[in-house]
């Protein structure tokens, strides 16, 4: 529904910007982050179609995304453990707007996946997880709450398109029974 | 109730630490400091403080990243946008309040990951000044250096002498990646970057994470026996970056104020007599001389004392025996902690090749660097 044009003098954006008192400045802040020991290996794993976690030798949790340390036991994590890509949806959301608050043509469904990784107590708040897009899930699945607990698995991009990035997984999709 | 430094740890001190993420660097420094102190961060530490700034991190709201790598998950953790020595000031207050017995201070820097460092510097200026498009934000250092030389009578040779002293000294310090065998002629004959400063007189940038564990006197004995006491710490900001025109050019009133505050807490009236050496700000050569003057470590004739070798490692009052920032490099908000670390290692007798003899008390002074007018000063001692 578009608002009706109301009477008065309309100011164009460029006129507004020409008013004294407005200083325009576009920051040039570019970075080149080191992913580090843990995430570099994790990203290499994604390229090979594998999800890798790191084991805490004390609490036996397998951390995904991996860390070189366990934040609770505060010791170095040790072995790499491949975890199955399968898991359940912990929570999900439908977004109707993009990052610049523009209305999306097709709403985006995003979720947090609780992966089937060992070392976590049943029902514990912490888990090995990934934040990603959900596909094959409807808006109604999310709004009704049906999506929560849904079993999902990664939909991988073809090997030749993988770059060692989170985008090597296209999305998580429901596991067909 | 006195406040002790019971442990220190660091990782990096290299122009680039490509092998670790900033979080992994924070963890490696923390593990080392906690081992040094004999503390279990998950049990013994009451609070954690991190000094950082979002644009250096390249992460907005970066304070949320602070707890996890230093043992602070689900524990009281705060972040201060400022130099690491300002965090030490905060920790000092928390311990002296009696509400916290053990407080951890951490600061880290990964300037190697900032692709547009100069532009980030420009972004820190008042937007109204930025429209001038002054090409190099280091211009502020030049403005202060020229004004300082004019007022004090120090010459370009004096500034170059600081570079020679600190760069050469750093050759004995494994943390000093930018140290070099350099002569006065080489410095003076090199082209200025920002007049009167040559590339030898402007510190490079260094990646590091540093972690310091503080404890109140009554519990400190539980944590090792290598205690260094924080006798006083204070900090101040002049008018600030927002009004560059109002800075007192050729002076650093924030450092003087910080020094007087720290000296008052430490009971110091004559710093040259009551302390044995100093680690002071020297990211630009002139700053060492200006800092010494503002700290009351030589009156207004510091450049004359420099000439006589008074501030050399074997002189009457050694200044920057570590090689200073000119040798170690600037570690963004970890710069103050980097210099505190050097002073602590000296007092513990663990400074290796740069170890001074018979030192008991030191002054540590840091400036947050351009374009800030914020300084922090600490007085540290051993029993």
pLDDT tens, B86-125?
999 999 999 999 999 999 999 999 999 999 999 999 888 8
Tell me the three state secondary structure of residue A67.
coil
Within-domain flag for B296: no
Tell me the three state secondary structure of residue A79.
coil
Chain B hits for A32, Cβ within 8 Å: 113, 115
Within-domain flag for B273: no
User: What is the token pair recorded at A160?
Assistant: 């030749």
Gap between the Cα atoms of B314 and B312, Å rounded: 5
Whole-model pTM: value is 0.95
Per the rule left: phi > 0, alpha: psi between -120 and 50, beta: everything else, B74 is left
Within-domain flag for B212: yes
**pLDDT-derived band at A98, boundaries 50, 70, 90:** confident
**Cβ contact, residue pair B116, A38, below 8 Å:** no
Within-domain flag for B66: yes
Residue B296: exposed, middle, or buried by beta-carbon count in 10 A (0-12, 13-18, 19+)? Answer: middle
Q: Where are the alpha helices (DSSP H) in A7-148?
A: 13-18, 36-47, 139-143
Residue A16 pLDDT greater than 90, yes or no: no
Range of the domain at B216: 3-115+205-220
Within-domain flag for B270: no
Touching A: B residues 143-202, CB under 8 Å:
none
B130 in contact with A, Cβ within 8 Å: yes
Gap between the Cα atoms of B305 and B282, Å rounded: 17
Q: Where are the alpha helices (DSSP H) in A19-131?
A: 36-47
Question: What total number of domains does chain B contain?
Answer: 1
Please name the residue that has the structure tokens 């060992």: A118
CATH number of the structural domain spanning residue B17: 3.40.47.10
- Give the count of Cβ contacts less than 8 A between chain A and B: 77
User: What is the token pair recorded at B366?
Assistant: 């840091």
Chain B hits for A76, Cβ within 8 Å: 31
For residues A66-87, average pLDDT: 96
**Cβ contact, residue pair B24, A25, below 8 Å:** no
Strands B3-14 and B228-237: antiparallel
Give percent above pLDDT 70 in chain A: 98
Angle at B305 (CA atoms; ends B302, B306), nearest 5 degrees: 85
| Per-residue model confidence (pLDDT) at position A3 | 67
Within-domain flag for B225: no
**Cβ contact, residue pair A29, B113, below 8 Å:** no
**pLDDT-derived band at A29, boundaries 50, 70, 90:** very high
Name the residue facing A33 among B17, B40, B58 (closest C-beta): B58
Residue A95 pLDDT greater than 80, yes or no: yes
SS (H, E, C) B132-187: CCCCCCCHHHHHHHHHHHHHHCCCHHHHHHHHHHHHHHHHHCCCCCCCCCCCHHHH
Mean pLDDT of chain A: 93
Touching A: B residues 215-244, CB under 8 Å:
none
Nearest Cα of chain B lies from the Cα of A54 at a distance, in angstroms, of 14
| Per-residue model confidence (pLDDT) at position A100 | 86
Name the residue facing A31 among B58, B69, B73 (closest C-beta): B58
| Per-residue model confidence (pLDDT) at position A1 | 58
Chain B hits for A39, Cβ within 8 Å: 21
- Count of CB atoms situated within 10 Å of the CB of A93: 13
For the packed helices B139-152 and B285-294, what is the interaxial angle rounded to 10 degrees?
50
Q: What is the ipTM of this complex?
A: 0.91
Instruction: Please report the sign of the dihedral spanned by the C-alpha atoms of residue B273, residue B279, residue B280, residue B284.
Output: positive
User: What is the token pair recorded at A128?
Assistant: 């090995």
Ranges under pLDDT 70 in chain B: 241
Residues 6 or more apart in contact with residue B274 via CB below 8 angstroms: B268, B361
For residue B23, give the chain A residue with the closest CA. Answer: A36
Within-domain flag for B57: yes
CA nearest to A50, candidates A86, A88, A87, A82: A82
Gap between the Cα atoms of B236 and B366, Å rounded: 11
Please name the residue that has the structure tokens 């008390």: B361
Write the CA distances from A82 to A44, A171, B73, B166, B203, integer angstroms: 12, 19, 26, 50, 45
Name the residue facing B41 among A27, A37, A74 (closest C-beta): A74
Within-domain flag for B214: yes
CA nearest to B206, candidates B14, B9, B11, B10: B14
CA nearest to B26, candidates B71, B77, B75: B71
Touching A: B residues 244-263, CB under 8 Å:
none
For the packed helices B156-169 and B285-294, what is the interaxial angle rounded to 10 degrees?
100
């Amino acid at each position: 529904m578009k608002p009706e044009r109301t009477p008065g003098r309309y100011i164009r954006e460029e006129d507004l910007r020409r008013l004294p008192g407005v200083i325009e400045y576009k920051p040039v802040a570019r970075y080149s982050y080191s992913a580090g020991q843990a995430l570099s290996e994790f990203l290499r794993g994604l390229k090979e179609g594998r999800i890798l976690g790191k084991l805490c030798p004390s609490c036996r949790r397998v951390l995904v995304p991996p860390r070189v340390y366990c934040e609770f036991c505060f010791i170095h994590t040790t072995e790499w453990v491949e975890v199955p890509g399968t898991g359940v949806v912990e929570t999900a959301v439908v977004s109707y707007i993009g990052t610049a608050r523009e209305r999306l043509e097709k709403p985006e469904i995003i979720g947090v996946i609780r992966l089937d990784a060992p070392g976590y107590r049943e029902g514990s708040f912490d888990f090995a997880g990934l934040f990603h897009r959900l596909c094959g899930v409807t808006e109604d699945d999310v709004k009704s709450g049906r999506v929560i607990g849904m079993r999902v698995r990664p939909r991988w991009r073809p090997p030749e398109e993988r770059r060692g990035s989170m985008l090597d997984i296209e999305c998580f999709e429901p596991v067909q029974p | 109730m006195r406040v002790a430094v019971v442990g220190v740890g660091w990782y990096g001190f290299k122009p680039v630490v490509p092998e670790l993420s900033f979080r992994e660097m924070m963890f490696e420094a923390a593990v080392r400091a906690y081992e040094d102190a004999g503390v279990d961060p998950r049990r013994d530490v009451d609070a954690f403080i991190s000094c950082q700034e979002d644009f250096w991190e390249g992460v907005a709201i970066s304070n949320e990243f602070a707890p996890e790598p230093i043992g602070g998950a689900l524990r009281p953790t705060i972040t201060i946008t400022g130099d690491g020595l300002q965090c030490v000031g905060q920790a000092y207050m928390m311990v002296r309040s009696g509400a916290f017995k053990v407080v951890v201070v951490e600061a880290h820097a990964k300037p190697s990951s900032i692709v547009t460092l100069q532009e980030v510097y420009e972004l820190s200026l008042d937007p109204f000044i930025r429209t001038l498009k002054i090409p190099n934000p280091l211009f502020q250092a030049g403005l202060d250096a020229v004004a300082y030389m004019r007022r004090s009578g120090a010459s370009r040779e004096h500034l170059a002498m600081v570079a020679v002293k600190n760069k050469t000294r750093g050759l004995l310090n494994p943390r000093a990646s930018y140290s070099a065998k350099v002569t006065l002629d080489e410095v003076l004959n090199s082209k200025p970057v920002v007049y009167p400063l040559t590339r030898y007189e402007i510190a490079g940038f260094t990646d590091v994470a540093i972690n310091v564990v503080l404890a109140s006197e009554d519990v400190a004995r539980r944590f090792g026996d290598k205690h260094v006491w924080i006798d006083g710490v204070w900090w101040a900001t002049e008018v600030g970056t927002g009004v560059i025109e109002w800075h007192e050019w050729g002076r650093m009133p924030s450092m003087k104020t910080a020094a007087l505050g720290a000296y008052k807490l430490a009971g110091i009236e004559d710093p040259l007599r009551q302390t044995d050496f100093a680690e002071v700000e020297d990211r630009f050569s002139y700053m060492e001389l200006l800092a010494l003057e503002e700290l009351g470590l030589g009156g207004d004739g510091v450049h004359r004392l420099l000439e006589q070798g008074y501030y050399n490692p074997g002189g009457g009052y050694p200044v920057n025996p570590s090689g200073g920032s000119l040798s170690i490099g600037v570690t963004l908000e970890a710069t103050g902690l980097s210099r505190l670390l050097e002073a602590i290692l000296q007092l513990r007798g663990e400074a290796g090749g740069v170890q001074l003899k018979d030192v008991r008390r030191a002054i540590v002074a840091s400036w947050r660097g351009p374009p800030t007018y914020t300084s922090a000063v600490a007085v540290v001692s051993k029993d």
